[in-house]
Amino acid sequence: MTKKLNGKVALVTGASKGIGAAIALRLAAEGAAVAVNYSSSKEGADRVVAEITKNGGKAVAVQGDLSKQADIRHVVDATVKAFGPLDILVNNAGIYQFEPLEAITPESFHKTFDLNVLGLLLTTQEAVKSFNPKGGSVINVSSVVTSVTPPMSSVYTASKGAVDAITGVLAKELAPKKIRVNSLNPGMILTEGVQSAGMHEGEMADWIAATAPLGRIGNPDEMAGPTVFLASDDSSYITGTSILASGGLK
């Protein structure tokens, strides 16, 4: 069977674990050479790269804190140096923090927005300079919170609302370069972060089980399939769209 992404080059940000790791593994399985970006977890990124290469794929781990412009340039340059011009950018790096209105500080706001919004914009800006002249695909990982708007998520939800808006704007702006821009909006996914925060069990998990039509939280692999679709020619006439991958929660 022909692989959907043979010969393509992909950069996946925040790919040392969770959704990013699952996406990197699936893109590689479909034939893409993948740059696995990480900020602090070299061990996690190396593990993803090792799994890809063990299965006959091409991958390289690239360190960079994407809230810093110099790091962004390094990540894109290292990707191009390893594999050539980009065809696919997955903007997955991000942080989430839930806190009530009275606990919000300028520091917590800027920490979230510097990575989730500004980092995404600057990474896309830098990556587009190195895209294949034939075009390609940018996939922004957003969140179901933009439609659910849960309590105690003002800053995080605002940051992902910005991601959805940016997706629409850049779909129009980058169309002349034949670069499509879409977003993937996951629901609660069983990642290491969700587990360490204890959100995979208890009140929140019970609420999702009762509210989401599919009656459960998702797993990272379930985010990889829609990403391959958005990265491949299967979605060649789709841009400026959000795919809600939330088990029906909205």
Residues 6-58 pLDDT 10s? 999 999 999 999 999 999 999 999 999 999 999 999 999 999 999 999 999 99
Mean pLDDT of 219-243: 97
Mean pLDDT of 72-81: 98
pLDDT at 197: 60
Q: Which residues contact 144 (CB under 8 A, 6 or more apart)?
A: 185, 186, 187, 188, 244, 246, 249, 250
pLDDT at 230: 98
204 or 235, which is more confident? 235
Ordered domains of the chain (ranges, CATH) = 9-189+220-237 (3.40.50.720)
Mean pLDDT of 119-138: 98
Rounded distance, CA 242 to CA 127, Å?
21
pLDDT at 199: 65
The answer to whether 237 is a known catalytic residue is no
**Is 209 a residue whose pLDDT tops 90?**
no
**Is 137 a residue whose pLDDT tops 80?**
yes
pLDDT at 2: 86
pLDDT at 198: 61
Catalytic residue among 38, 96, 156, 237: 156
